[in-house]
C-alpha cells in the first residue's frame, strides 16, 4: 500500500541518519567509488530546420563613400544658391541698379589729397581729381565740396564757408579733371574734420542728376585758439574758489565772434565772474586778433567730501549767427581738476551747551562755545577766528568774552594770537581748543516789529601754512549757527463785576447762599512768530455755574458739562497781536457764583487750571502758557509774565472779595 511504502522509506532514512551520526557505526561506513555518468548523446532530429533561400550577391559601399556622397550634395546646394544669388544680383544691377545707368557712379574716380596735418586757423589747399571711366560723357558736371562746421573763406575770415560748388563742364569718356580748393579750417587740437566731395552730372538723353561722392578726413595738428586755466588744484570744502581762464589766438587772421562756455561740476556754486557771462555759463568774447589773449576770472565755491575730484570743462568756438546763444563750432577745449580737501580747521558751535541751532526766549542769556581743531599734517600759523552776528540787533554792551574782542563796527567777536595770549600763534597738527562768548537776546518790546526774528552766527577762520605747489597758502574755514527766538506769547485771565460786558447781578461782596454773576475775560498777545493750533482750557469748580453765553461771537468757546471744562479754540494767532496797532485776541464768558457757608471769610476760586497751548510756526516747537487761578478777588489779575501790567476791574476793592454771611 502507498502508506506503508512511505513509512518504510521514512524508516530507512532515519536508520541512515542514525548511522551517519553514530560513533559506533561511523568506522564501518566506508566511501564508495563514484560511478561514471553515461556519455550517451541524445539524438535530436533536424526535420524542424527550414532551408533558407540563398540571397543574390550584393556589394556594400564603404563608409567613406557615404561621406563623399553627402559632401557632393552640399557642394551642389551651395553652387545652386550662388548661381541664383549671382543671377539676382546681375538682374538687379543691369535693370534698376548702377549697371542700368549709361554712366555709373562706380566708374567715376574722385581722389582728394592734402596735407597730413592741418593747422587750425591757417589756409589749407586740397587737390581734387575726377576721372570718368564710363563709355559716355558726363555733361554739366559740378564739383560740390561740403566743409566741416567753422570753416571760413580764405578771402574773408569773417565769412563762414559751409560749402563750395564749381562747374567742370563736360567730362568726356575717359577724361580727367583736377583742381584745388582752399579754406581755413577750425578744429580742436588732435581733432578730426570731415570733407565731403560730390560730383553732380547728367548724361545725354536724361534729365536726371546723378551723384558720385567721396569723403576726406582732416587731422588737426593745432587749434586756431588755445585755452589755459590757472587755479588751485586743491581747495577746502566751502572755501572760495577762483579760476583764471585765458583764451589765446594761434591763427594768422582774426577770429570773429568768439565764444566760451563752461561746464561746472556737481557741488560748484557760481558767485561771480569778470567779465559777466552773457547767459548762465556762456561768455561772448567778441573778435580775437592773431596772438591776442582774453581772460575770464570765475569765482565760486566747492562743496564735497574730502578726496572728491571736481572737473571743470571749458570750451571755446564760434556760432553761425549772433542770434544763437550757444556754441556750435568747437575750436578748443580743456579741463581743470580740483580736489576737495578737509577744512584746515574743524570748527564747531554749541549754544547753551546743545546744538548750534536752538530756540530761546526773548531776554534770555545765551552762551556760545566755539571749538577748533587743526586737520592738517602741518602746523597752521597766525590763526584768526571771527564770529559775526547778524539778523536781529544785539546790545553790544551785553556781549562778553574773556579772550575775544567785540567789534561794534561790524558786530563781530575777534580772536587772534594777541587776544588769546599766543594760543592761536601756532596750531600744531591735531591741535585743538575752545573759545566762548555770551550775549543777551533782546526783550519782547524791542521785537514788536520783528517777524520770525533770528540771530545768525557765522564763524570764519583763517591761517597760513608753508606754500605748496597748487594748494592755497592762505586757508579758510567756516561754520554757521542760527538762534531762533520763540514768540513771546502772553496770557491774561481776570474777573469782572463792575465792568461786566454781560451785566452783573447779585450781592458784592458775595454772600453765602446767593448767586453773584461775573464775567471771566481771557486776553492773548503775541509778539514775533505765528502761533498755530492754539487752544485755551480752564476748569469751573462745582460751585460756579456756566451761564452759557460768551463774547465775541467771532470766537469759538465750548463747555463740557461732564468735566466742567471751558475750551477756547483760538486756532492761528498772528504775530504782533496785542502790540502797537493790532488789538489783542479776547474772549469773555459769563458765570454765576453761589458760595457756601463753608466759604465764609474766604476768597474762593472762580476758574482754575488755565492753560494756553499752541505751536510756534517759525521754530516748530510746542509753546505753552499758564496763569494763576482767578478768584473772587477781582483786583488780582492772573498773567503769564510778571512784566504784564493791567488795570483789572475798575472800581473793585479787595474788601469786596471775601464771602460774607
Is residue 231 a contact partner of residue 207, using CB atoms and an 8 Å limit? no
Is residue 372 a contact partner of residue 435, using CB atoms and an 8 Å limit? yes
Which tens digit of pLDDT belongs to each residue from 595-628?
Answer: 999 999 999 999 999 999 999 988 788 999 999 9
Per residue in 186-210, is it b (16+ CB within 10 Å) or e — as a string? bbbbebebebebbbbbbbeeeeeeb
Rounded CA-CA distance 22/25 in Å is 6
Rounded CA-CA distance 141/145 in Å is 13
Contacts (Cβ under 8 Å, ≥6 apart) of 486: 359, 360, 361, 362, 529, 616, 619, 621, 623
SS3 per-residue string spanning 389-439: EEECCCCHHHCECCCCEEECCCCEEEECCCCCCCCCCEECCCCEEEEEEEE
Which of 534, 508, 502 minimizes the C-alpha distance to 521?
502
Residues of the chain with pLDDT under 50: 55-60, 94, 98, 470
pLDDT of residue 42: 58
CA 654 and chain centroid, separation: 68
* Strand, helix or coil for residue 58: coil
pLDDT of residue 81: 84
Instruction: Work out the end-to-end distance of the chain between its first and last CA atoms, rounded to an integer number of angstroms.
Output: 148
Contacts (Cβ under 8 Å, ≥6 apart) of 583: 577
Other CB atoms within 10 Å distance of the CB of residue 560: 13
Is residue 510 a contact partner of residue 518, using CB atoms and an 8 Å limit? no
Q: What is the DSSP letter of 511?
A: B
Which of 526, 500, 461, 480 minimizes the C-alpha distance to 634?
500
pLDDT of residue 57: 46
CA 370 and chain centroid, separation: 31
* Strand, helix or coil for residue 333: strand
Which of 363, 350, 359, 529 minimizes the C-alpha distance to 439?
363
pLDDT of residue 548: 93
Rounded CA-CA distance 190/118 in Å is 10
Q: Which domains does the chain have, with CATH numbers?
A: 105-222 (2.60.40.10), 225-341 (2.60.40.1530), 345-485 (2.60.40.1530), 490-656 (2.60.40.1170)
Task: Find the angle CA(59)-CA(60)-CA(65) to the nearest 5 degrees.
Answer: 120
CA 119 and chain centroid, separation: 43
Burial class from Cβ neighbours inside 10 Å (0-12, 13-18, 19+) for residue 98 reads middle
Rounded CA-CA distance 599/509 in Å is 13
CA 459 and chain centroid, separation: 27
pLDDT of residue 251: 80
* Strand, helix or coil for residue 229: strand
Distances (CA, A) of 546 to 537, 568, 611, 627, 631: 14, 14, 19, 20, 16
Distances (CA, A) of 410 to 369, 402, 441, 450, 631: 20, 19, 18, 21, 52
φ, ψ of residue 73 to 5 degrees: the values are -60, -45
pLDDT of residue 587: 97
Answer whether the bond into residue 509 is a cis peptide, omega within 30°. yes
Positive or negative: CA dihedral 494, 497, 498, 501: positive
pLDDT of residue 304: 83
Rounded CA-CA distance 391/456 in Å is 6
Other CB atoms within 10 Å distance of the CB of residue 630: 24
pLDDT of residue 33: 58
Which tens digit of pLDDT belongs to each residue from 386-442?
Answer: 999 998 889 999 999 999 999 999 999 999 999 999 999 999 998 999 999 999 998
Amino acid at each position: 500500500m502507498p502508506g506503508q511504502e512511505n513509512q518504510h522509506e521514512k524508516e530507512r532514512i532515519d536508520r541512515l541518519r542514525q548511522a551517519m551520526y553514530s560513533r559506533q557505526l561511523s568506522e564501518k561506513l566506508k566511501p564508495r567509488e563514484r560511478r561514471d555518468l553515461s556519455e550517451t548523446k541524445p539524438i535530436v532530429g533536424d526535420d524542424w530546420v527550414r532551408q533558407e533561400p540563398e540571397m543574390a550577391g550584393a556589394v556594400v559601399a564603404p563608409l567613406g563613400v557615404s561621406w563623399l556622397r553627402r559632401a557632393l550634395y552640399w557642394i551642389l546646394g551651395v553652387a545652386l544658391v550662388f548661381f541664383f544669388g549671382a543671377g539676382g544680383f546681375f538682374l538687379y544691377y543691369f535693370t534698376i541698379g548702377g549697371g542700368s545707368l549709361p554712366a555709373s557712379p562706380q566708374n567715376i574716380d574722385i581722389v582728394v589729397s592734402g596735407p597730413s596735418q592741418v593747422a587750425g586757423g591757417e589756409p589749407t589747399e586740397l587737390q581734387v581729381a575726377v576721372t570718368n571711366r564710363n563709355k559716355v560723357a558726363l555733361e554739366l558736371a559740378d564739383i560740390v565740396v561740403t566743409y566741416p562746421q567753422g570753416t571760413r573763406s580764405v578771402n574773408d575770415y569773417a565769412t563762414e564757408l559751409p560749402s563750395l560748388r564749381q562747374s567742370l563742364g563736360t567730362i568726356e569718356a575717359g577724361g580727367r579733371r583736377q583742381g584745388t580748393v582752399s579754406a581755413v579750417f577750425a578744429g580742436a587740437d588732435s581733432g578730426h574734420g570731415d570733407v565731403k566731395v560730390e560730383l553732380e552730372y547728367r548724361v545725354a538723353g536724361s534729365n536726371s542728376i546723378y551723384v558720385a561722392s567721396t569723403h576726406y578726413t582732416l587731422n588737426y595738428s593745432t587749434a586756431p585758439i588755445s585755452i589755459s586755466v590757472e587755479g588751485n588744484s586743491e581747495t577746502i570744502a566751502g572755501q572760495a574758489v577762483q579760476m583764471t581762464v585765458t583764451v589765446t589766438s594761434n591763427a594768422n587772421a582774426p577770429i570773429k565772434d568768439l565764444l566760451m562756455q563752461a561746464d561746472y561740476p556737481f557741488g560748484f556754486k557760481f558767485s561771480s565772474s569778470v567779465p559777466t557771462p552773457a547767459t548762465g555759463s556762456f561768455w561772448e568774447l567778441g573778435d580775437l586778433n592773431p596772438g591776442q589773449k582774453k581772460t575770464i576770472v570765475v569765482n565760486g565755491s566747492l562743496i564735497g567730501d574730502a578726496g572728491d575730484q571736481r572737473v571743470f570743462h571749458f570750451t571755446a568756438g564760434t556760432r553761425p549767427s549772433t542770434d544763437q546763444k550757444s556754441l556750435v563750432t568747437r575750436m578748443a577745449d580743456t579741463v581743470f581738476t580740483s580736489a576737495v580737501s578737509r577744512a584746515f580747521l574743524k570748527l564747531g558751535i554749541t549754544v547753551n551747551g546743545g546744538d548750534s541751532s536752538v530756540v530761546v526766549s526773548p531776554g534770555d542769556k545765551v552762551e556760545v562755545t566755539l571749538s577748533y581743531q587743526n586737520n592738517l599734517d602741518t602746523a597752521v600759523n597766525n590763526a584768526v577766528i571771527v564770529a559775526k552776528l547778524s539778523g536781529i540787533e544785539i546790545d553790544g554792551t551785553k556781549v562778553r568774552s574773556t579772550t575775544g574782542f567785540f567789534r561794534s563796527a561790524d558786530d563781530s567777536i575777534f580772536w587772534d594770537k594777541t587776544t588769546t595770549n599766543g594760543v592761536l600763534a601756532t596750531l600744531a597738527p591735531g591741535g585743538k581748543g575752545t573759545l566762548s562768548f555770551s550775549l543777551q537776546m533782546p526783550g519782547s518790546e524791542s521785537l514788536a516789529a520783528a517777524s520770525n526774528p533770528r540771530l545768525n552766527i557765522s564763524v570764519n577762520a583763517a591761517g597760513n601754512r608753508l606754500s605748496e605747489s597748487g594748494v592755497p597758502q592762505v586757508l579758510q574755514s567756516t561754520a554757521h549757527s542760527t538762534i531762533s527766538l520763540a514768540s513771546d506769547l502772553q496770557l491774561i485771565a481776570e474777573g469782572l463785576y463792575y465792568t461786566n460786558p454781560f451785566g452783573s447781578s447779585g450781592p458784592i461782596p458775595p454772600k453765602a447762599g446767593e448767586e453773584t454773576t461775573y464775567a471771566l475775560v481771557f486776553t492773548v498777545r503775541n509778539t514775533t512768530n505765528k502761533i498755530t493750533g492754539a487752544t485755551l482750557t480752564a476748569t469751573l469748580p462745582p460751585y460756579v455755574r456756566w451761564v452759557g453765553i460768551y463774547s465775541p461771537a467771532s470766537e469759538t468757546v465750548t463747555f463740557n458739562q461732564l468735566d466742567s471744562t471751558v475750551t477756547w479754540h483760538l486756532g492761528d494767532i498772528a504775530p504782533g497781536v496785542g502790540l502797537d496797532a493790532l488789538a489783542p485776541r479776547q474772549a469773555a464768558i459769563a458765570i454765576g457764583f453761589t458760595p457756601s457757608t463753608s466759604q465764609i471769610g474766604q476768597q474762593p476760586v472762580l476758574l482754575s487750571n488755565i492753560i494756553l497751548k499752541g505751536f510756534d510756526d517759525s521754530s516748530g516747537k510746542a509753546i505753552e502758557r499758564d496763569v494763576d487761578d482767578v478768584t473772587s478777588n477781582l483786583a488780582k489779575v492772573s498773567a503769564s509774565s510778571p512784566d504784564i501790567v493791567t488795570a483789572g476791574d475798575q472800581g473793585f476793592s479787595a474788601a469786596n472779595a471775601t464771602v460774607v454771611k
